[in-house]
Amino acid sequence: MAPLAQIIAAAVMLLHVYIFLLETVLFRSRGYKVFGITPDKVDTMAPAMSNQGCYNGFLAAALALGFVLPNAATAQAFTIFGLACVAVAGIWGALTVSRRILFVQTVPAVLGLAALALA
């Protein structure tokens, strides 16, 4: 995998590890603030956010496999799959939650896919 594509994929992976942590482990202390949820809704939202966090963890895991699998073709397939899933999830998030998600998730994922395609 080209160095630029690796850097972008790693950044997207780390972002999703952070989101996973905010939505699961850190939701009641910090996560709800980052996502703009009022304190009175934390208890109601916590289970759904935790579930959503698991999905972000799966996205990070797919990208991580792209770095550790020994077969280059398989590793690249996981990277492409992970970045494509992040891009689609970001589009859906932008349509249903906040436009900001498009720039935080989709744009970096698409840049990573472009870097892979150009390599």
Q: pTM of this prediction?
A: 0.92
Supply the range of the domain harboring residue 101.
3-118
pLDDT tens digits, 17-58:
999 999 999 999 999 999 999 999 999 999 999 999 999 999
* pLDDT value at residue 77: 97
pLDDT tens digits, 56-90:
999 999 999 999 999 999 999 999 999 999 999 99
Exposure of 60 in the CB half-sphere (CA atoms within 13 A): 16
pLDDT-derived band at 112, boundaries 50, 70, 90: very high
Q: What's the number of domains the chain is made of?
A: 1
